[in-house]
Amino acid sequence: MKYISSVQNESIKQLVALQAKAKIRKDKKQFVVEGQRELHLAQLGDFNIETIFWCPDIFDENAFLHWSVQFPEKTDFVKVTLMVYQKIVVRDTTEGVVGVVWQKNTHLTAWKPRNKAPLVVVLEAIEKPGNLGAILRSSEAAGLDAVLVTESHTDIYNPNVIRSSVGGFFSIPIFICTNDEAKRFLNQNQFSIYAASLQKSTSYTNENYMNATAIVMGSEAKGLSSFWYDKGTKPVKIPMHGHVDSLNVSVATALLIYEAIRQRNC
């Protein structure tokens, strides 16, 4: 097993850059995953893990050897010092392993729904990685079929997206596309489209989500663009009974998708 003790090592420099810069992640088509549980979920989600960096000062060798057998032989393992490990991690609390993982194909054309009434969320121009990760967490927990990210302002491979999804990132299909591509796909597959709105809308509990359903959510600052408000889209709202006039986008999304799940499980 290779051993690295210097933060000036070229592999370490590349990993730090991969953590920090979306452009490098896009160019290399790789991203970084921290933690034993997250790397285990990445493996279960059929992500190709290229290299795992291991710090024996944090993760006991016997436990590490037992944990590492789940990965294929093509995965490289590199032992690093505590100083090097602290250089390559983002999280305050870590478990002694960091992996470099290959990105998956996120083209919407690669997805074929597995059931007759899929339930998806469409996220237009979500800006905050933490919100995107939280929505992925709720979507995976609810058993959604996919999440479509349109007009993206946030790199889905941002470390804060991975962290805040609490593993949900690895097990729910995520697709990056334009608004036009998303709507074309939804129309071709006969989805009913519901757009979160405060104007000219009915309560979200009054709609029927039993058929193929897409719930469309807008950015934190501006909400949905006018693109989604046409005759083929049904605006829905979450009633506000206090002094505030809106909810965090991740909370609002969770309410809408769980109403759809409630109806389907009745």
Question: What confidence tier does 245 reach under pLDDT thresholds 50, 70, 90?
Answer: confident
Domain with CATH 3.30.1330.30 in the chain: 2-102
pLDDT tens-digit readout, 184-231: 999 999 999 999 987 778 999 999 999 999 999 999 888 899 999 888
Mean per-residue pLDDT for 101-129? 93
Q: Which residue has the tokens 């759809």?
A: 260
Domain with CATH 3.40.1280.10 in the chain: 108-265
The one-letter amino acid code at 142 reads A
The one-letter amino acid code at 147 reads V
Reported pTM: 0.94
Quote the pLDDT of residue 199: 76
- Considering the segment(s) 108-265 as one domain, its CATH architecture is 3-Layer(aba) Sandwich (3.40)
| Helix residue spans in the chain (DSSP H) | 10-20, 22-28, 36-44, 61-68, 82-88, 129-142, 159-164, 179-188, 249-265
Q: Which CATH superfamily is domain 2-102 in?
A: Ribosomal protein L30/S12 (3.30.1330.30)
Question: What confidence tier does 175 reach under pLDDT thresholds 50, 70, 90?
Answer: very high
Instruction: Using alpha carbons, list the distances in angstroms from residue 25 to 16, 91, 242.
Output: 11, 18, 42
Strand order in the sheet with 97-102: 2-4, 76-80, 49-54, 97-102, 30-34
Burial class (CB in 10 A: 0-12, 13-18, 19+), 110: exposed
Name every residue whose Cβ is closer than 8 Å to that of residue 4 and which is 6 or more positions away in sequence.
11, 12, 53, 78, 79, 80, 81, 84
Taking the C-alpha atoms of residue 180 and residue 249, their distance in angstroms, rounded to an integer, is 22
Mean per-residue pLDDT for 35-44? 96
pLDDT tens-digit readout, 54-113: 999 999 999 999 999 999 999 999 999 999 999 999 987 779 999 999 999 999 988 988
Count of C-beta atoms within a 10 Å radius of residue 160? 17
Task: Tell how strand 97-102 and strand 30-34 pair up.
Answer: antiparallel
